[in-house]
Chain A
Amino acid sequence: MTIFWIFFALIHLLSIGFALFAVYRLYGYIHAYRMPESKYTLLFRFIRLRYLATAYLILTAVFFVWSSISLLVT
């Protein structure tokens, strides 16, 4: 079970690390390209890149918390 927990921690460390790295790269892009967005350019006319990045960070955190709780309960 100990090895399992080590792998579990490793997966989540990699997951959170990658998410932070991805958002850091996105921030660089948003800073460099300040395009005049409109309903014609946004995904489904309303999804901004910032919304997507926020959802990504929140879902990564939820994934970590939820899987930890599930494993602890079982």
Chain B
Amino acid sequence: MNSFFSANGTPQHRDNTNRHFMGQQATEEVTLFLRKHWVTIFPQMIVLLGTIFLTPPLFLLLRDLPLLVFFLLAASALVFHRMFVHLFNHYLRIIILTNYRLIELEKTLILRDTKCVIDLTKIQDIEKRQTGLLKNILNYGELILHLSSSSNTITFYHVPKPDRFFREINRVKREYILRRQEQKHQAVRDDTAPSVAAVPASEQVGVY
């Protein structure tokens, strides 16, 4: 991934506005993004494969019974489309970690389009849970974010390789806090009030 800072520590001035997703800020870099583990769509994949491979023989077996053939046709079409929509939904639900915030997109093909944005400074603690045989063998688990602004927690379920995501959130959060502190100290040194205004407008986030 590209770093926000160049080798000599100066910020790179590349305009990333709407580069990877709508609402991306000019200086915002996507550190990583992830989808849920494939175990969440495993049952749908089995049903889909079953429909594809079992419908033709059943169709031939029941060809003398037109009513049953009709119901089989309707049922297989319904299951076929339903399972593919499940597979598509797997791709649409993503979690994006940038150098400013964490964005959760809970989108489905037709029925849902929910976005949740969490500023990295609002994350107090991160907890990783990986309990059970299947979760440890297939390497997925839950990430629980404890937010500082309220007693609420946000849980991401079925996160693949949770260790990697856990480390990345911690790293990016630490960098973000250090950068903000440096900007505030710079503002104090320049005899400017250390306020939010010290952060360049291009780096202020909160508006998706």
List residues of A whose CB falls within 8 A of some B CB. 1, 4, 7-8, 11-12, 14-15, 18-19, 22, 25-26, 29, 32-36, 40-41, 43-44, 49, 52-53, 56, 59-60, 63, 66-67, 70-71, 74
12 residue pairs A–B, Cβ–Cβ below 8 Å: A4-B70, A15-B77, A15-B80, A22-B85, A25-B109, A35-B20, A43-B38, A44-B38, A52-B84, A52-B88, A63-B76, A66-B56
Write out, one digit per residue, whether chain B residues 129-149 have a CB within 8 A of any chain A CB (1) or not (0): 000000000000000000000
Q: Specify which chain A residues have a CB less than 8 angstroms from the CB of B88 in the assembled complex.
A: 22, 26, 49, 52-53, 56
Q: How far is the CA of A70 from the CA of B55 in the complex (A)?
A: 12
B66 & A35 in contact (Cβ 8 Å cutoff):
no
User: Given A33-B21, A49-B88, A70-B59, do A26 and B80 touch, yes or no (CB 8 Å)?
Assistant: no
B87 & A32 in contact (Cβ 8 Å cutoff):
no
Q: Specify which chain A residues have a CB less than 8 angstroms from the CB of B56 in the assembled complex.
A: 66, 70
User: Given A22-B109, A29-B107, A44-B38, do A35 and B21 touch, yes or no (CB 8 Å)?
Assistant: yes
Residue among B41, B59, B70, B77 with most chain A CB within 10 A: B77
Interface band, chain B: 35 or more
A26 & B109 in contact (Cβ 8 Å cutoff):
yes
